[in-house]
Amino acid sequence: MSSNDDDILIQNYLSGDDRAFDDLYQRYRRRLFSWLVKCVQDRRLAEELFQETFLRIIRFLPQYKPQEKFSHLLFRVAHRLVLDAVRKNKKDRGVLSLMDVTEPAAKSESQGLEEAIQRIPKEQRAVIFLSEYAGFTFSEIARITGCSINTALGRMRYGLLNLRKILKEWEAI
Amino acid sequence: MSCEEWKERIVLLVYEELPEEKKDELVRHTSSCTSCEEELAAFREIHARLACLPEADGPSQGISETIAREARQRRRLFPWPALLRLALASVLLVTVGIVLIHGHRQPTRALTPITWEEPKTADLHNLHEQIREFTQSKSEPLVEGSLSFYRDAYLLEQKMRNVSHQLDTF
Ligand SMILES: [Zn+2]
């Protein structure tokens, strides 16, 4: 899907074609949602953030300028909401709510991996998720998260190193 | 090149962002450096495992409907700020014109500053209703997010009335 097509859909929507918005929404619905679920590990919270992201985007669209890719704008808004939610969650409960932390026994390999990701610093996690589940390049990730490409690359590398370390420790048990 | 520098490229290689011409030299280095070779293998393995994690399908139907409804409701408001701006611009133009004409005949009187009052929520709902009737759009409740738009429209209308009242007293 090209970003050019996104711009055409946005223009059509702004000039009165509601269907164009539906098409735009369909393009990003699953990509954004599955990324959000990965980030917050909580389907209900992910739904809240998903809705809030799109409501903000809708409000912003009349001012939208194609200089910034729509996908970057969408994930930039969502990324900021995720950071806020994580911060708020930490304050409320001490830790980010994770999936079944109450049942540590018989974790599948994928559950172990998901839990390990939640243990690494959030900036590193954000880069890993934006790359793995939202399909962005490192220069795009830099733009979305507001850092330099080198920082994004460094976060990716240290994120992967941390993951490897945690997994090694767990697998040694 | 130091191993640290090679390692920066390893991430790019794993995520397929390393330019073709730089791939060969990196692969050559990793085949002769245990530390870099190990890091490359580890990153490839984690990348493959991450790619296998299950993905969520999509948000619930209700959320998609809320978003579609909001998109439609908002879109109907888009032409309004432009229309109101146009209305304000014409009022200002008339003001300037009249002030200029009067200026030739008598000493100009300065316009008093425009004052306005913050609308009550009920006023905003009234305005919403008026616009809805005017545009003959389907009845939909006024949502929280639209309140600021109606507030702006309300204040603008008050200011315009204030200006035209001052013009009448000229
Ligand atoms: Zn090396």
pLDDT at B18: 95
Q: Which residues does chain B have with pLDDT short of 50?
A: none
The answer to pTM > 0.90 is no
pLDDT at B65: 97
pLDDT at A106 over 80: no
Summarised one tens digit per residue, pLDDT across range B131-164 is 666 665 655 666 666 777 777 777 777 777 776 6
Q: Which residue has the tokens 């059509």?
A: A12
Q: Give per-residue burial for B83-120: e unless 16+ CB within 10 Å, then b.
A: eeeeeeeebeeebeeeeeeeeeeeeeeeeeeeeeeebe
Q: Where in chain A is the domain with CATH 1.10.10.10?
A: 101-173
Range of the domain at B22: 3-51
**Check whether domain A101-173 has CATH 1.10.10.10, yes or no:** yes
Summarised one tens digit per residue, pLDDT across range A124-162 is 999 999 999 999 999 999 999 999 999 999 999 999 999
Contacts with A76 (C-beta within 8 Å, 6 or more apart), sequence order: A143, A144, A145, A146
Interface predicted TM-score (ipTM) of this complex, two decimals: 0.85
Chain A residues with CB under 8 Å of a chain B CB are 13-14, 16, 18, 21-22, 25, 29-30, 33-34, 37-38, 43, 46-47, 50-51, 54-55, 58-59, 61-62, 109-110, 113-114, 128, 131-133, 137-138, 153-154, 156-157, 160-161, 163-164, 167
Q: Where in chain A is the domain with CATH 1.10.1740.10?
A: 1-100
| Total structural domains within chain B | 3
Contacts of B49 in chain A (CB under 8 A): 109, 113
**Check whether domain A1-100 has CATH 1.10.1740.10, yes or no:** yes
pLDDT at B104: 63
